[in-house]
Amino acid sequence: MYRSIFAQALFKDQVVIVTGGGSGIGRCVAHELAALGAVVALVGRTPEKLAAVQAEIAAAGGRSDAYPCNIRDEEGVKALVARVLERHGRIDGLVNNAGGQFPAPLKDISLKGWEAVLQTNLTGGFLMARECLNQAMAASGGAIVNIVADMWGGMPNMGHSGAARAGMVNFTETAAFEWAQYGVRVNAVAPGYVASSGMDAYPPAMHQTIREFPQTVPLKRFGTEAEVSAAIVFLLSGAASFITGTTLRVDGGRPNVRPGMPMPEMRNPAEPFNGFHLATLPKILQDGGAS
Ligand code: ADE
């Protein structure tokens, strides 16, 4: 079972949509929410990946169902939210986690590539949030958590993603104001370098750079998926009832590093929080993994 720090039935019978639920952080938070009693609506483009996570959650005694959908497609998003409502009669939470990008310097990004990344990481999240608000949450309240990234101060070689994630932070702030009247809280979580399956999608030329990321992090390690999930679950929960419009960084202090300021040695490394029973290291971080 998932080893959550939260109370066992915290989300009992609540319906929470998790986009990008077929892998990585989305899969992890879907497991944690299901372990806490939620019915999780898994959204993603690949039905096989969603079915696999659904089976894992069922094996752990949890409840979920799968909704294959491309979040860039407005009609598809409208229909998906309507189907979740039809099946369950309510939507209490949305984790806007689906995302993706490809590494490239700005000068080499085509209009098509730029728009694709903006659509996935900004427009898709807006469509999901808007539909959840208009179809369900404006009447019954709810909580939305947008997953962004450590793009503070720029995101070299990921400029399209950085621009989209920064846009999502501002969207979070506007939505927090406009939707507070409906009892809807809107927050974001910004993960830094997290050991997650997404790391294996990067080209071999980047693998060594990725392995060296922890040297640039004050806490001197990668984060775990469960550490990000715990932040998301907190923001969805009643314990965060007075929190809206904020972005919670989960990044080991990476943006607090100052150029020219020597990085101190780590003297007392703390144990990572590893509550996810099915967590595995991405291949590029395993001993003898892909190089
Ligand atoms: N995960 C990554 N990109 C996605 C998309 N466009 N739709 C749904 N899930 C996704």
Mutate to test the pocket of ligand 1, among 67, 120, 147, 165 (most ligand atoms within 8 A of CB): 120
Q: Give distance in angstroms: CA of 164 to centre of ligand 1.
A: 14
What are the boundaries of each domain within the chain? 15-251
Mutate to test the pocket of ligand 1, among 53, 71, 123 (most ligand atoms within 8 A of CB): 71
- Whether residue 273 contacts residue 233, with contact meaning beta carbons closer than 8 Å, is answered with no
pLDDT band at 290 (very low <50, low <70, confident <90, very high): very low
Q: What is the mean pLDDT of residues 12-24?
A: 97
How does pLDDT run across 54-80, given as a tens digit for each residue? 999 999 999 999 999 999 999 999 999
Query: Which pLDDT belongs to residue 106?
Result: 98
Query: Residues 117-154, buried b or exposed e (16+ Cβ, 10 A)?
Result: bbbbbbbbbbbbbbbbbeebbeeeebbbbbbbbbbbee
Q: What is the mean pLDDT of residues 222-230?
A: 98
Q: Domain 15-251 belongs to what topology? A: Rossmann fold (3.40.50)
Which alpha helices (DSSP H) does the chain contain, by range? Answer: 24-35, 47-59, 74-88, 111-118, 124-132, 138-140, 159-179, 207-211, 225-236
Q: Is 120 in the pocket of ligand 1 (CB under 6 A)?
A: yes
288: pLDDT strictly greater than 70: no
pLDDT band at 198 (very low <50, low <70, confident <90, very high): confident
Q: What is the mean pLDDT of residues 170-197?
A: 98
Q: Give distance in angstroms: CA of 123 to centre of ligand 1.
A: 11
Q: Is 70 in the pocket of ligand 1 (CB under 6 A)?
A: yes
Q: What is the mean pLDDT of residues 135-148?
A: 98
pLDDT band at 289 (very low <50, low <70, confident <90, very high): low
Q: What is the mean pLDDT of residues 242-247?
A: 98
How does pLDDT run across 92-133, given as a tens digit for each residue? 999 999 999 999 999 999 999 999 999 999 999 999 999 999
